[in-house]
Structure 1
Amino acid sequence: MPGVQLDQIGQALASCYDNLVAEGIPDHLAALVKRVDRADRDAPPTAPESGGRIALVVEDEQETRDLAESVLEETDLRVVGCASAEKALSFLQDHGGDVALVFADIRLAGAMDGVQLARAIATLWPCTRLIVTSGVEPEPGEALPEGAVFIPKPWRAFDVLVEAERATRDPAPPIA
């Protein structure tokens, strides 16, 4: 369909999907829709279009990630969400010089956890402010890098916003 934007196609498919669900969607079509939805969620994150510094939220639970993103959208930082440490590192490879803050859960889907991610960021992007969160305290062998802040779950929006404010006050990290 030349000239048709992908957003329009997505909206049309979403509308069809809603109608099919209302009518009772066949199992084979439901499985296909789930695969397409999963592929869309697995796509690498992209930077927001406007300029400025970025807050990167790394959380595999969608609802928690959405909540953290909503809180951080109240700051001057642009917000990007990732479901895994691997996706976060991929994003950082392209936009690391713009990332002021990384807010990551310790327990993540994928091969890396949030502590390993924090250590990698502290080494590769040392000017990035790190917040690590979890429902349990980090294990003794899971030492956070120097300067990283641990905020236990359930975290308060105020605590996250205080750290975001600190990240925005610091000078922009040098671009390598």
Structure 2
Amino acid sequence: MTQKTERRSTVMIVEDDLELSRMARDMVEECGLNAFECATGQAAHDHLDANADDVLALFADITLRDSIDGIALALTTAERYPWISICVTSGQSTLRPEVLPQKVRFISKPWRAAEVLAFVEGS
């Protein structure tokens, strides 16, 4: 196992619906990874500034209740931290936003456990 794999074992979950955040956290932990939950884009951004080297993947809702939404967070993360796998999710649309880079995965809500697990395991 490489040092890179050992260091990066955290999946950041950015979801303002507490129930959905906890469901995603449980799925991530079932895969043997650490989960870090944030309810806002700003909290996620701050956590990445301090801990990006530990982050393997970002799983974020597009619609968040602050000035940094999931799309802005995905764009910033993709640019600053290219090693982080990114998935955004939305209950407002079933279409992948065109502004997202190709590497960003999109899952519409309600997401199925198999979709989340496939993203996490592929990270």
User: Which TM-score band applies after superposition, normalised by the shorter structure?
Assistant: 0.7 to 0.9
Q: For residue 9 of structure 1, what is the aligned residue in structure 2?
A: none
Q: For residue 131 of structure 1, what is the aligned residue in structure 2?
A: 87
What amino acid maps onto 1:64 in structure 2?
A: L
Task: Kindly report which structure 2 residues correspond to 1:1-176, keeping only aligned pairs within 5 A, or say none.
Answer: 53-137=9-93, 143-167=99-123
Higher relative contact order (CA 8 A, sep 6+): 2
SS of residue paired to 2:30: coil
Q: 1:106 to 1:55 in 2, by over 3 A?
A: same
Structure 1: 4+ residue segments shifted above 3 A:
138-142
Matched residues in 2 for 1:112 and 1:145: separation? 17
Matched residues in 2 for 1:56 and 1:85: separation? 11
Matched residues in 2 for 1:77 and 1:87: separation? 20
Matched residues in 2 for 1:114 and 1:141: separation? 11
Aligned length: 117
How far did residue 64 of structure 1 move?
1.1
SS of residue paired to 1:158: helix
How far did residue 145 of structure 1 move?
1.9
What amino acid maps onto 2:111 in structure 1?
A: W
What is the TM-score normalised by the length of structure 1? Answer: 0.62
Matched residues in 1 for 2:105 and 2:85: separation? 8
What amino acid maps onto 1:116 in structure 2?
A: A
What is the TM-score normalised by the length of structure 2? Answer: 0.88
| Unaligned runs of at least 5 residues, structure 2 | 1-6
Q: Is the 8 A contact 1:115 1:142 kept in 2?
A: no
